[in-house]
Each structure stands twice: as C-alpha cells, then as structure tokens.
Structure 1
C-alpha cells in the first residue's frame, strides 16, 4: 500500500511570505498608558506585544520616530519574579550565538553590562546565548572552555537569562525585550515601556501622554467541533482561511490559542494526500521544520488525513472525519 507523503495546502488569499497573523497600528493621538490600553482593546486587540526582532522591524516605522507606548508595563516586583531567556549591572564578558552559519557561538572578550552585551549580540550576531539546548551544546561548551583558559579572577559570563519585572498588557509571556542600555535612569517612577527614536525601548511615567502602538490579532480560535472540511468551509465563509503555520514564530503564536481549546486537538490548514506521488520539501523561508510528534506506529494510506495541533503544540495526523475546534485567520 502506498505510504503517506504530505503536502501543505495553502488556503485563501495570503501567501507564505506576506500573510501575518497579527498587524500593528500606530495611533498618533496622545494618551496615557491606561487610556491607550483601553483604546486598543476597544478598537483592536490590545497594546502592541513584541515577541522577537522580526516583530520589532514590523512595529517600527522610520517616519514615526516619536516616543510611543507599547504594551509592556512594570509589575509588582514582590509578586512575580520569573526568569526568562534573552538587566543592567556589573560588567562581564559574554557569548553570542548565530542562527545561521557554520559557527554558532562566539566568545566576546569585552566586558559589558547585560543590556550592552545583549545589544552587541543583536547587532553583530543573533542574540545572547539562550535556552538549554544551546547551553548544553558541545560548541557552546568549547567557547566556555576558551574563556576558562584565560588567567582572570572573574569566571562569570553573561547569558540571555534575566529576572522579569515587566509584563505584557495582553498577558502573553513573550520574553523578548529591546531596552536601550543608556535609558535606565529614575526607573522607580517609570513603570510603562515605550519605543524611542533609536528603535530601542525606554520607560516613562505612565500618566504622561504619548502616541501608541496597538496590534490587531488575526488568529481566532473557534470553539465548535467540526470535521476538517467543515472547519475549512467555516473559515472561508466567516473569516479568511484555516490557519497555516509557516515558521517557528507563527508556531508560537498559534500554540497559545491551541492551549485554550475545548478539544484536545485543533485543526490546522494542512492536509495529507494519498493520491499524489509527491513529498513536501520545506524551504528555509516557509516552514523551518514541521512540528510533528514522534511516530508511534506506521500509518498507512487508508484514509484522508489532515494535521491537527495538540495543546502541547505538537502536530498530529488525524482522520479528516474527526471533529475538533479549529483556528481561523481573519
């Protein structure tokens, strides 16, 4: 019997390279941070949340260089202190990493405070080394050994882990920050974050009036149980498309919706085919790597299958006749 090979079916009008799951809006009207939050929640989704450098590039408009509120606000330091990957203090040497290229990790033999180190890595590489997978890698350990071989008394290095006292307005736990290393003055009274003319972030008194950035979420979790074809038709008729995930950035965004589903799985806009003698090859600009769960047994091509995301973010092959919640893009 023919083995299953899968192809990704893009539904609707958007392409791999232009379809965004959320949009940013610059509002020139000046408001306090709380007023800006209320405005964004009434007209869009919330004040802008930024999850990585790509978001930052989309958010920042060169013609809009004025200070503007974003959805990051200081929280009660005694109530929550969480560590995240990716604050100022003493000066240490550090290790940067690159997402691409043969060499991934770079020991930087310069002493900087944490924010300066982060800025250096983002300018010359990708970021400070972050995550257990990177820290446990052999190449990272080699860079640490290079550092340890130096005849210096201070054997500490910066990595991308920080203690969090800031929270996003929409409740998302994205750890991305883009602070200006020179902006932390009188921070006790400056509890709300804003963009600045140099593209980095600073903070100010929340009752000051400024323009602001909202975002409009295009991803909608539909808490109705439907087959894959029914879900596809529903999204086309009522919104735009059944969501397709084309990179790890979108994977994170959609995964947060899947956690709120009433069913164990949610349908995605991807379907297997048993009739085409094709295998789907993923390019660097489409899906980095399908987030398929490990195979437990061989699946033969005896039914129509589509891709569903479990609440843990993994993708599974499911018969299109099963009924799950699903995610549309409007």
Structure 2
C-alpha cells in the first residue's frame, strides 16, 4: 500500500500522527518514531485509535499545533487505486454526495479521466487542470462568483483562503442564488463547483471528504515519489491530464529530458498491454504506431505496462504493473 500520503509523498520513513477518539471528541498525538505508513497504522491502532483523520481546516490547524518539528508526518489518508474505486465528494466538510440529489447533464457522469465538475446549469465532469471561473461559499450563507481563471485545486485553495470553500451541495451549487448569479452574466457559463472524485480513503473508515493538498510539492516527473502503474495513472488523471503518451519522436525527446532526473531506474508512461484485445494501447486509446522498445524489452503478457529507461537510449521496457517507479504526467 504505497503512495500513501501525508501532505506530500517523498519519504518512505516518516514520523506519524495518531489520534484518540471518545464520543467524537478527539486529540492528536505526535509520535516521534520513524515508521512506514503500514507500521504507523499498526502502531496507532494498537496504542491509540488510528492514524489521524482530518475533517476540516480547524482540524488542520490543530494538527499543525500538535506537530513538534517542521518535517513530515504520516496521517491516515491513503489511496485505493483503480478507476472503479473513485468516489464523488463535495469539497465542503459535512456535505455528503448522494445520487438522488444531482444535476448531471445527459450521459454524465462518464467513466473517463475527468475528476472535477463544472456547471452552467447542468453538471459536466472536466479535467481538474483546466482553468475556469469558480463559485465560492462563505459562512454567511452566500455564494460569490470569482472571475479569475484557475485550476480546480487552486480554486479550492482560493475559496478556503478568502471565504469558506468551493460551493458544495445543491443549495449552494444549484440554488436560487446560483441561478440569479449565473443569469446576471448575460448567458450561462461554465464555472467550477466543489464536486470531485478520487480514490483516497481514511484509515479509520471515516467518510470525510476533506483534502488539503500541498500543490507545490506534488509530483512533476522529477522527484522521489514511486508508485505502481495504476497509482500513477490515478494521480495524473486527478491532478493533471493523464499518464504521458508517446506517439512520435518529438514526444519521445520531450519525455527523455524529464526522465533524466528520475530517482528510479525506469519511469512509467501511459502504455499498457490489454489481454482482451491482445495488443498494446496508450491510455488515450491510441494504437501504438511509433515504437521505441529495447531489445527483448517487449513482453506481451497480462498486467504488463511500459516504462522508459532513465538513461542510455531511453528505450521502453515492459514491466509488471505492480512495480514501483517514478512517472510522467501530461498536461493539456
């Protein structure tokens, strides 16, 4: 169960936060011991309740106050990879997503790589790295149209810094105030709302939707984070566009330049062997025309994915999808 993050994912051994809960009153305990995430989870469950869960920004502040140093520490958030494990959440803590209360457009939501939601009356899922205006909500029960184009995550951070959160739930994202605000612009327009999906879960089973990522520390193709192929795919689809596809020599050279600084001997790309069709396909569904396989590097077997060599001729080799390597995300 790798790629299990605190705010960033760069160290295999880290200090940990445990929490103890009684009747919904809980406190955080900072544990000054270096452990893997799995070891930290076992320790907290044996000595407290579980690894720390975080409900909202107030909890974030309490978590920081409990910290006894400026480094990194594990919390109870982990990824359960696979597109079938993605779940929809509202950004605002305490607002639960239910299938009965939605405004999806026709044929939405699809089962594609888009994991954030925009609306102009009906909801459409979209790539989170697109830039749009967005709707913030404040504690005064009002919504605010922010006429600044931002990615979904940056819009969420902006709303939390200046208001409360991105508009969440039907009352905020589809209520009368939203309709009046949208009409005031002359014609309906696409704006971000606080609906997203991901594969992340809390160790104690809490259904908290709260996420507060440190975007400056996220993977850009050149740090020490290592993931299985599925974990890398999930990350790229949530935070960028996709795992990179290489369909011509120019793209190959671009990826080569990014691969040079990887900390693993290989780097995942978005190419996978499909047993059903008995061929290799890019995750963009493109058939492989341009190829750069190493000698004997291509093995046509189930659960095999392509990785690029970190150096040398930067050729491709097929690896078990369960191996853990750096990876390269593509942007729109």
| TM-score tier (shorter) | 0.3 to 0.5
Q: Which has the higher contact order (CA 8 A, sep 6+)?
A: 1
Which has the greater radius of gyration?
1
Q: TM-score scaled to structure 1, two decimals? A: 0.47
Give the alignment's TM-score, normalised by structure 2: 0.47
